[in-house]
Amino acid sequence: MLDFYIPEGLIEQRKQKVRDVWSYNKVDHIPIQMSVDYNPWNYTMQDELMDMEKQLQLRLLSVINSMKHLPDDYIPCMFINVGCVGIASALGAEIHYGDNPQQTPGVKKPILDKVEDIYRLKRPDPYKDGLLLQEYMKRLKYFREKTQNKVAVSGLDMNGPMAVASDILGSETVYWMMMEAREDLKYLLDFITEVIVGITDAAIYIAGDINSFTSTDFFYCWCPEGHKGHVSSDLCASYSPQLFRQFDIPVNNRIFEKYGGGLLHNCGPNPCAFDYLKHQPENHGVDLAYTYSKGDLEKLKKAFKGTGVIYFYYEGKPEDVIREYRETMEALAPDVAAFPVYSLSDPQYEPEMVYEDFYKISREYARRIWGS
């Protein structure tokens, strides 16, 4: 059970800063999306994927340490992680775990042999089908109970309509369909989107309220009320804006319109950057991997000027990450606000000092956008 105090008034102040940045209202600094994620038990990724208690143990420790060591900005959240192939599994795909204990599960092989097979797919029951899906639902209920409904949780990692299509058909077939069987692919994407909506509605029912979630998908940082929608479009890193508009945008918009425009995920690169907001009017921004998107900063600056927000995931040693966040500010200010997302797992670094280094940049960042 939750055995530590979460100051709700303080957390509400931190949430308001996030809301303000999303609305481009003046703040004194860009809220730093940092967490302290020590792992004293040396659990592997597969340890936490296969053991609900171990994952909860890690998440609770993260909340405790983040609240204790981070001076500001941290909003208690928990990532419920069962991997990104839960929907493919619920549709009948066999999953496998690699030899690397840090590897998440993948689909063993496509479940459809030919295009015509897509019309025989049946919508899974969100409450009964798919081992990974049911494990997520179990953890959702359990984590909410153990935190007395005071800590927001992530949705299932839906993987996005295009990636699910690739999982169950194979990427080569999906790319062929984009050229030669477009209406069939659109049918499949509509079907997968209906599955995503059904699972999301079931999760909201179990949690009791959409505001119990950080987002409706895997994104584990707190998103403002009314903007909980989240969609992954990782495959769009590999094709043209024209194809993105034809295949991704219609289904993405269905999710944004239903759950509130939130964020689009793509690790990067971003050939479709100018369409992220322009043709997805309910969308409010993106979450990107800095490593794969840093070459697109100038493009993103033009596409997001004064309107959309960006969350960048940074990885590596704190000194390298701080340098990269400064590079982000130099590239995007004063036109675009970007949140840094960083998990500190190495106990040799003092969280307070790492936060302070972020804070200096984020305060300067805010001045460059809104003035002193």
Residue 317 tokens, joined: 């040693």
pLDDT at 333: 98
Q: Cβ(104)–Cβ(83) under 8 Å?
A: yes
pTM: 0.97
Q: Tell me how far apart the alpha carbons of residues 258 and 283 are, in angstroms, rounded to a whole number.
A: 12
Please give the average per-residue pLDDT across 176-205, as a whole number.
98
Domain boundaries, the chain: 8-370
Q: Can the peptide bond before residue 334 be classed as cis, meaning omega within 30 degrees of 0?
A: yes
Residue 279 pLDDT level (bands cut at 50, 70, 90):
confident
- How is 320-357 classified by DSSP, letter by letter? HHHHHHHHHHHHHTTT-EEEEEEEE--TTS-HHHHHHH
List, for residues 215-269, the tens digit of each pLDDT value: 999 999 999 999 999 999 999 999 999 999 999 999 999 999 999 889 999 999 9
Residue 167 tokens, joined: 């999982």
Residue 372 pLDDT level (bands cut at 50, 70, 90):
confident
Span between the terminal Cα atoms of the chain, in Å:
44
From residue 291, alpha-carbon distances to 268, 296, 313, 330 in Å are: 8, 11, 8, 16
List, for residues 95-138, the tens digit of each pLDDT value: 999 899 999 999 999 999 999 999 999 999 999 999 999 999 99
The class (CATH top level) of 8-370 is alpha beta
